[in-house]
């Protein structure tokens, strides 16, 4: 069964995936990098459209679930990476399209765009999830559009009326004083790649985060980190990864 945003608000909607499929219907020679790949439902769909898919996630557990879900796919290369601390050189540079769906705060989302521009020499398109729902994503996208670095070519996913009917998403928007007046996501074309792109290390942004040493999950609140740490078992994770890689 295909999981969509109405089933799990952390993933993208089925309509979003279908819209990507229509827009990139002739993309069999293009590679895509999924920044924040979660549990692999979108990865599965992308693998049917693109030549190669690079799902990037910091959470080992997400990769375990995704590998199991996509075990019959041969064009997926998983990359475990802390996007905001590790070197993006661990991601292959032959990427034509990026789907950004990681941390939605402005500083993080902007860093994802800058790192994508810097790392991927062949980059043609950037797809943004949760454009309507998170202020940080909307601010990032609009800033790069205003700077004439990217150009919006297609709204994708659920429209504002459909989004407003999902209570969790409506609550998230209201908590930021946002009005749901745009689509779930947006596809932008790279039109003017800047020279000398500078990415600021996370520690210089004065952002305090708590990272689980076992699975790599990042938390902004110490009490969320402490609650997670009680139940995160590295030995179990390693065993599952070993079993998956040897099946």
List the structure tokens of 171: 């609550």
Per-residue tens of pLDDT for the chain, all 247 residues: 677 777 776 789 999 999 999 999 999 999 999 999 999 999 999 999 999 999 999 888 889 999 999 999 999 999 999 898 889 999 999 999 999 999 999 999 999 999 999 999 999 999 999 999 999 999 999 999 999 999 999 999 999 999 888 888 888 888 888 888 899 999 999 999 888 787 765 544 445 566 665 665 666 666 666 776 677 665 555 555 455 545 5
Calpha distance 189→184 (Å, rounded): 17
Classify 108 as helix, strand or coil.
helix
* Residue among 138, 126, 107 at smallest CA distance from 35: 126
**Which pair of structure tokens corresponds to residue 245?**
């890689």
The helix or strand, by DSSP H or E, that contains position 79, with its residue range, turns out to be strand 79-80
| Distance of alpha carbon 109 from alpha carbon 100, whole angstroms | 8
Tell me the C-alpha distance between 239 and 225, whole Å.
Answer: 23
SS3 content of the chain, % helix, strand, coil (to 5): 40, 15, 45
């Amino acid at each position: 069964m295909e999981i969509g945003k109405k089933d799990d608000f952390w993933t993208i909607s089925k309509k979003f995936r279908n819209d990507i499929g229509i827009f990139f219907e002739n993309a069999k020679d293009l590679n895509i990098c999924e920044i924040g790949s979660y549990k692999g439902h979108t990865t599965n769909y992308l693998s049917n459209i693109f030549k190669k898919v690079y799902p990037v996630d910091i959470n080992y557990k997400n990769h375990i679930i995704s590998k199991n879900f996509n075990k019959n796919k041969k064009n997926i290369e998983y990359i475990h990476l802390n996007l905001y601390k590790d070197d993006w050189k661990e991601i292959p540079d032959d990427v034509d399209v990026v789907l950004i769906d990681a941390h939605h705060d402005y500083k993080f989302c902007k860093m994802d765009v800058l790192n994508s521009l810097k790392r991927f020499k062949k980059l043609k398109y950037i797809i943004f999830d949760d454009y309507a729902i998170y202020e940080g994503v909307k601010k990032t996208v609009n800033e790069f559009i205003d700077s004439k670095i990217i150009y919006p070519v297609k709204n994708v996913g659920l429209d504002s009326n459909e989004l407003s009917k999902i209570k969790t998403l409506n609550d998230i928007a209201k908590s930021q004083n946002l009005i749901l007046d745009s689509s779930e996501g947006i596809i932008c074309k790279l039109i003017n790649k800047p020279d000398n792109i500078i990415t600021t290390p996370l520690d210089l942004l004065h952002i305090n985060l708590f990272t689980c040493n076992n699975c790599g999950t990042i938390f902004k609140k110490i009490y969320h980190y402490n609650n997670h740490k009680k139940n995160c078992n590295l030995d179990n994770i390693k065993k599952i990864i070993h079993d998956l890689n040897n099946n």
